[in-house]
Amino acid sequence: MRRLLLALPFALLPLAAAHADHHEDHEAHGSLGAHEHGVATLNVALDAQALEIALESPAMNLLGFEHAASSAEDQARVAAARAQLEQPLALFGLPAAAGCSVSAKDLRSPLFGGPAEKHEHGDDDHAAAHESEHSDIDAGYKLSCSHPEALEGLDLGVFFKAFPATQKLKVQLIGPNGQQGAELTPSNSRLQL
């Protein structure tokens, strides 16, 4: 399943290129991989009973800042965001009827602290400067769903309410109906699987 999720961006590359070309005149940043405040990427793969979800977002969208959390208020924001990200069943609006359980999760950001969370640069000053400019938060989830037929879609309304600075989710999906791309917003927060 991990290979399926890792292959997702490559499988959807023609769709992404067509989408970028189509919106080139309407958006200043047509790149799907750029660090763009207000925009996050969500990759979803459903294969039989296995559901994988990968979120990539600028920290600004989830925390309201991208610098190291030095104040008590910033540290509380980081802890609150991390606690919300630890609850993927609620955050991604998975229906209870699908019987999904989390088998693995991986949250990464230089802002979460810890030696494993730092960028791997030879120069610590360069790493600190890079982190102060742009910090991301990546979250990966592996879920097992006993009744995947009940997974008709994901309702990301809770996600948008939890992280109101996120204005758009660029979604890439591989599921029972093939591959597709979508853009979700707070007013259009349902992803059909």
Which spans in the chain are helix H?
A: 2-11, 13-23, 59-63, 72-85, 88-91, 124-133, 157-162
Give the pLDDT confidence score for residue 7 in this predicted structure: 52
Distance, CA of 189 to CA of 193 (rounded, Å): 13
Give the pLDDT confidence score for residue 65 in this predicted structure: 93
Question: What residues does 192 pair with on adjacent strands?
Answer: 153
Give the pLDDT confidence score for residue 52 in this predicted structure: 98
Quote the pTM value: 0.75
Residue ranges of the chain whose pLDDT lies below 50: 9-32, 115-132
The beta-strand segments (E) located in 10-71 are 39-47, 50-58
Give the pLDDT confidence score for residue 2 in this predicted structure: 53
Residue 60 CA: distances (Å) to CA of 20, 35, 56, 74, 109: 23, 10, 12, 12, 12
- CB proximity list for 167: less than 8 A, separation 6 or greater: 38, 39, 185, 186
Give the pLDDT confidence score for residue 160 in this predicted structure: 97
Question: What residues does 130 pair with on adjacent strands?
Answer: none
Instruction: Tell me the two tokens of residue 131.
Output: 């982190």
Give the pLDDT confidence score for residue 109 in this predicted structure: 94
Q: In this structure, which amino acid lies at residue 149?
A: E
First-residue to last-residue Cα distance in the chain: 17
Distance, CA of 143 to CA of 51 (rounded, Å): 5
